[in-house]
Amino acid sequence: MPTGMGESTTSREARGVTRGNDMGNQSQVQQEALYRAQNSPSMSNYPAIFQGFAEKGIAMDDIRPRENVFSFHAWKALGRRVRKGEHGVRIATIRTGNKTEKQPDGTEIQVGFSSPWHVTVFHVSQTDAIE
């Protein structure tokens, strides 16, 4: 079954992040989103981010990916919420993880995968502090 985007089950487990159905799961999802946003080495979405927010009237000097542009969940992890009705910029990313595959001999093995994924990011000017 697919895991979270951006990293494998093993790297999440190494940081002590697990998935479950409890209330703490939302906090874990938010922390994962923030970790991926701040630690991804890719800059391939920067042109789309700059163009998208410039079209929304945000000055180019005020657009700083990984500093003031994050996903919905990453903003929640930072203690901010996206205002109702705000429209962000959709960017492409790669979701990676592990899945279990059954072999012809009946054994199961863990196989890594990656697939394209889309995430919407928001500028800090589209958020408010959570009180």
Buried b (16+ CB within 10 A) or exposed e, 32-48: bbbbbbeebeeeebeee
Closest CA relative to residue 6, chosen from 113, 128, 81: 113
Residue 17 has pLDDT above 70, yes or no: no
For tokens 């592990």, name the residue.
98
The string of pLDDT tens digits covering residues 34-70 is 888 888 778 899 999 999 999 999 999 999 998 999 9
Question: Would you kindly state where each structural domain of the chain is located, as residue ranges?
Answer: 9-129
Q: How confident is the model at residue 26 (pLDDT cuts 50, 70, 90)?
A: confident
For residue 118, the model assigns a pLDDT of 93
pLDDT surpassing 80 at residue 28: yes
Model pLDDT for residues 84-116, shown as the tens digit of each residue = 999 999 999 888 888 899 999 989 999 998 889
